[in-house]
Amino acid sequence: MKRALEKACPSCGRRVALEATACACGARWVASQPTGPEFRVPRVGMPVAAVSVIALTILIEAILLAHEAYVSPFVWAEAIGSTLVYLARFFVPVLLVAAYLAYRGSRQAQRAPDRYGGGRLARAGLVAALLLLAVHAGVFLTRAPRLIENRRIRQEAATRANLYRLAWAIEAYRQQYGTYPRRLIDLQEMDPHLKPAVDAWGREFVYSTISGDVAAAAPMPFQRYQLVSKGPDGILGTADDIVLRDDVLLSGGGSGTR
């Protein structure tokens, strides 16, 4: 505390009172000491951080896109589009953060230019982030129909796989008990660890069976059991139903192929 109320003589280094104007060595102060720094360096943390993130994003995406174009020279446009859609889930949040940092940096530079700098850098970073976001959004919109179709195909394939898995369990039940199960839950008598199968839309399959005598007398193709997925619309009896009769897969009640 005492040293805070003293100052050092610039000539001999002796400690004297803070308000003293002369020292015992004969030196004198001709002006008061400055209370703070004469020049403040403006802060540019947010603009620099935003531009750094954007530059790193551009570099990573450029490397990945160049690799995709190199390994797929004949379908490079398709490969680049698919890669951009895939990368969007990772880099869009990063670009949003970078845009926010650039916006904050620009606002700070406008409101307090003596304390914050890098206004032009922040505005350039904001424009770059918005352009990259627009590119990702444009690619996603152009590929959205294909993405939806691919998702539908994957869901139907997963549903067919579950249907065949259930059909195998039903046949195993018949071989063990001599008859088809009345309900799908009866399959757990054969295997208590068997989980109820659902289609790709999270709905349970509709199961029905008829007696062996009726099935033997029925015209081809005969039916001993039937498994039905209600399809994407969740309504039974519509064109998007996926039907499995015995080991024959049908779609919407149409003709099936083995």
Rounded Cα gap, residues 53 and 182, in angstroms:
61
Rounded Cα gap, residues 201 and 24, in angstroms:
93
Which of 157 and 218 is assigned the larger pLDDT? 157
Return the SS3 of 209.
strand
Q: Look at residue 233 and tell me whether its pLDDT is greater than 70.
A: yes
pLDDT at position 258 is: 37
As a whole number, mean pLDDT of residues 156-165 equals 89
Most confident of 41-45, 127-131, 161-165: 127-131
The DSSP bridge partners found for residue 204 are 198
Q: Look at residue 115 and tell me whether its pLDDT is greater than 60.
A: yes
Q: Look at residue 218 and tell me whether its pLDDT is greater than 60.
A: no
Mind listing the domains of the chain with CATH numbers? 45-152 (no CATH), 153-251 (3.30.700.10)
As a whole number, mean pLDDT of residues 201-216 equals 71
List, for residues 234-257, the tens digit of each pLDDT value. Answer: 888 888 899 888 777 876 544 343
pLDDT at position 131 is: 95
Q: Look at residue 103 and tell me whether its pLDDT is greater than 70.
A: yes
Query: What's the number of CA atoms in the CB half-sphere (13 Å) around residue 151?
Result: 8
Considering Cα of 197, then 200, then 204, then 209, what sign does the dihedral take? negative
Rounded Cα gap, residues 217 and 222, in angstroms:
8
DSSP state of 198: B
pTM: 0.54
Query: Is-contact 48 118, C-beta < 8 A?
Result: yes
As a whole number, mean pLDDT of residues 214-242 equals 73
Residue 230: other Cβ atoms inside 10 A: 20
Average predicted confidence (pLDDT) for the chain = 81
DSSP codes joined into one string, 40-109: PPPB-HHHHHHHHHHHHHHHHHHHHHHHHHHH-STTHHHHHHHHHHHHHHHHHHHHHHHHHHHHHHHHHH
Of the candidates 88, 258, 77, the residue with the CA atom closest to the CA atom of residue 160? 258
Q: Among 107-111, 142-146, 250-254, whose mean pLDDT is lowest? A: 250-254
Rounded Cα gap, residues 71 and 162, in angstroms:
35
